[in-house]
Structure 1
């Protein structure tokens, strides 16, 4: 009787390994070609990878002057609402509290703080709605199996109860850029 040398599982594992090795070699070869085309280590450098979107927003929230400098198209040192991209015009139109048509760093910072407070209040309200027995914890019974599977990773002390602080810490951890 002819028996195969490897089982089907082993065959698929070997095929995946071979394919992965081939793809890795192809990527490395492509990188070498790009390196050679770039002058083999001359003065040109590859552009830095763009930071994660949340980290990028966080930088501008902390330093609105950088945002103003980046988006100031006419170079007058002021950020007119009309200089903003269309989506940002809608989102930041209310930030111009003195109605002069330009956004100052102080106005942007105040707007960001107001937005953060509103978001925190919504999250607190959502938590309270989900906490059906009002004990300050969310459990599988209160949120249901499907939602529990999504949020149980935030249970830092593994007591099968989630506090608002645990959820907040998990949310902040997801927004932090990965260590490189």
Structure 2
């Protein structure tokens, strides 16, 4: 009687495992090639442009140009290298028309960059003032007695170190960790 190193049952299980591993590797390699062609390699199709209100706000942010030069390139309809305020969509005209500081009817990269920086400063000041309003004693923290029982029930979840007071940093961290509206 000859003893095999493995029983038929074990041998069959090993064969299935090896075959399954080979198939998984082939699928992953094919997926990697597709990723390289479409994503990292940049030779594949470009992502679909914004299709309207059916996409969430975060999806639209994804397609926004990240720098002023790309914004100018994207909306410069007549191809003159300048972005006239009139070339922008209506909502953007209202929002970005304020960036035209020299009032020449065109937006330069410098004007757009300065406008974005100012908006960020304004937003930060607004958040700071919004936090300072309920901070009655001005210590830089919100406590139960400052915000009231009802509001504290919502705010206390942000108190990461459980010290009974909420700092602006704890609020910022909670806001950053919050899931986007589409994922809720």
Q: TM-score per shorter chain, which class?
A: 0.5 to 0.7
1:69 offset after TM fit, Å?
A: 1.9
8 Å Cα contact 2:68-2:112 kept in structure 1: yes
TM-score scaled by length of structure 1 = 0.60
2:121 is aligned with 1:121: no
- Give the gaps of 5 or more residues in structure 2: 1-43
Question: Which residue of structure 1 aligns with residue 83 of structure 2?
Answer: 79
| Inter-CA distance 55–108: structure 2 relative to 1 (3 Å threshold) | farther
1:107 offset after TM fit, Å?
A: 0.9
2:69 is aligned with 1:69: no
TM-score scaled by length of structure 2 = 0.59
Larger radius of gyration: 2
Question: Which residue of structure 2 aligns with residue 100 of structure 1?
Answer: 104
Out of 76-85 and 50-59, give the one that drifted further: 50-59
1:177 offset after TM fit, Å?
A: 10
Secondary structure of 2:166's partner?
A: coil
| Inter-CA distance 49–75: structure 2 relative to 1 (3 Å threshold) | closer
Residue deviations 1:99-147 (CA, integer Å, cap 9, x gap): 2211122111110110111111111111111101222111222123343
Question: Which residue of structure 2 aligns with residue 13 of structure 1?
Answer: none
1:173 offset after TM fit, Å?
A: 3.3
- Give the gaps of 5 or more residues in structure 1: 1-43
| 1:10-49 equivalent positions in 2, closer than 5 A | none
| Inter-CA distance 175–103: structure 2 relative to 1 (3 Å threshold) | farther
Aligned-residue Cα RMSD (Å) equals 3.5
